[in-house]
Structure 1
């Protein structure tokens, strides 16, 4: 049942809400530029991890910012011990993520914000219209985009795995993976971690809403020493082509 539960799940978790985390691909504020900042501020989260935020300078009273590059930003009300780009050292591979080691209530956690290479599909590219020759060419064009992007993902995943495996602290991994559940990216990045949606999600996990069919490409994972007690995809706001994902964690051992 786990492959199905990665898309649709119903769970009931209890525990003390100690860390609230929000992951949100803001699409650089292109849809709701003026609304993104107030929305994020209103959530009163401990840590906010943003993707595709290049050129947008979100800053709130009481929050520190880790913004080492790559269009990724981490905001937190707590002390940042370290921040770092996950550097591919290869011009062909874009920066896949940034990390921030953050001290919360006397304990340090490694937060990793991920944005894997997009496939850059346009809606018309994946819309078949019944014209055999035209549809066949569309499929070929899609495959041409898939193969090189999958290769880049493989390289990016290896870099992210390294900072997960070498972390001296519990890990919270979030972001836009541009990959669906049951994919190579999902299995390799979640290895040894808990999918917060599997633990605490209710209903559909769909987070990307620009296409008419449901897609889950935004995730929050954590080390097993953390327990997700709530998981919310906030579909009340349409200020990006992604919905914000919010998870509260308990630090009580399972």
Structure 2
């Protein structure tokens, strides 16, 4: 192999930096943000680092340069540690007796303040839910909108706050709800709610978790105006709050003896500390039966997955769908589960 030309030397330097950053990011899920708040911000860019290293790998491979080995090794470490960023078409779309569907959706107040400049967004969300017909629906940033009727669900539990505009989290169910409650997070409108539902074969606990938002404006012009030091500090502070909130949630979760489903908007990625802690021994249903990037948030630079549905081993994961309907700054996801006796 010939020596590198000047341009390739520059690329090789950049490649080494990004490979080291990606390698460093693999330990982030094990570092509590309270101790490593600035470093934890790197977890937001893991998807971009993976894509960059894939491109470098392909570039050096096409040029028959041994430099391709660096990105290949780092990507392999990431794959065996966390799985693939992109899932190719899953074989799981199993129709079976006892299947039921769980949808999670941050509906952003049903577009109450016209963030999306279109009419009847709230009606489109309602129609989507009706068409997809989940048996359990977990909503974040829920608002009892006068134009939204979800009474086709037999049971519901909502936890709302706010003086003029009521908003919060809600769970709708076609299975009877026999118990419900909220895990309160101090100094925020975010929280985690839960319901215990009676299914044909067992009683199941369903959680709806909404962790603190980073409040990042995704428009390029706004990001350019943002002071980088202030931005990093704000995100680091948010990650500390998310860790505290996840600890409160886990204290509650660990007292539950029922089989469990955990839905929610974590405002953080699958490469984060809070994802690893909340997931625990549960199965990420996207990883079990999803395909593609599984994007759940409208971020313009690369696909971001910050909304999740977890289920414990008692549930067979027979399907997963990530939607493309742009009615919120989040996209809905739905899992098909089966609880065998």
Identify if the C-alpha distance between structure 1 residues 155 and 40 changes in structure 2 by more than 3 Å, giving closer, same or farther.
Answer: same
Q: Residue 204 of structure 1 is aligned with which of 288, 293, 309?
A: 293
- In terms of fraction of residues, the more helix-rich structure is 2
> Is contact 1:97–1:114 with CA below 8 Å preserved after alignment?
yes
Give the CA deviation at 1:224.
1.1
User: Which residue, out of 329, 332, 339, partners 1:241?
Assistant: 329
Tell me the CA shift for residue 163 of structure 1.
2.5
1:8 maps onto 2:86 in alignment: yes
1:159 to 234, 248, 273: 248
Shift of 1:229: 1.1
Contact 2:298 2:329 in 1 (8 A): yes
SS at match of 1:12: coil
CA RMSD across the alignment: 2.2
Does residue 84 (structure 1) correspond to residue 181 (structure 2)? The answer is: yes
3-state SS of 1:140 partner: helix
1:54 Cα deviation from its structure 2 partner: 2.8
CA contact (8 A) 1:46 1:78 kept: yes
Which ranges of structure 1 fall in alignment gaps of 5 or more residues?
none
Residue of structure 2 equivalent to 1:24: 105
1:170 to 243, 259, 263: 259
Deviation per CA, 1:173-221, whole angstroms, max 9, x where unpaired? 0111000111001100000111101111112211112423211101010
Higher strand share: 1
Q: Is the 8 A contact 1:157 1:185 kept in 2?
A: yes
1:121 aligns with 216
The count of aligned residue pairs is 244
2:148 maps to 1:61: no
| Counterpart Cα distance in 2 of 1:24 and 1:217 | 11
Q: Quote the residue 2:126 is aligned against.
A: 37
1:127 Cα offset (Å): 6.8
Structure 1 contact 111–172 (Cα < 8 Å) conserved: yes
The question of whether the paired residues in 2 share the 8 Å contact of 1:126 and 1:142 is answered with no
**Aligned residue in 1 for 2:190:** 95
Higher relative CO (Cα under 8 Å, sequence separation at least 6) belongs to 1
User: Which 4+ residue blocks in structure 1 deviate beyond 4 angstroms?
Assistant: 124-129
TM-score (norm 2): 0.66
The Cα offsets for residues 34-68 of structure 1, whole Å up to 9 and x where unpaired, read as 21112212222110000111343642234211113
Deviation at 1:122, TM superposition (A): 1.2
1:195 is aligned to 284
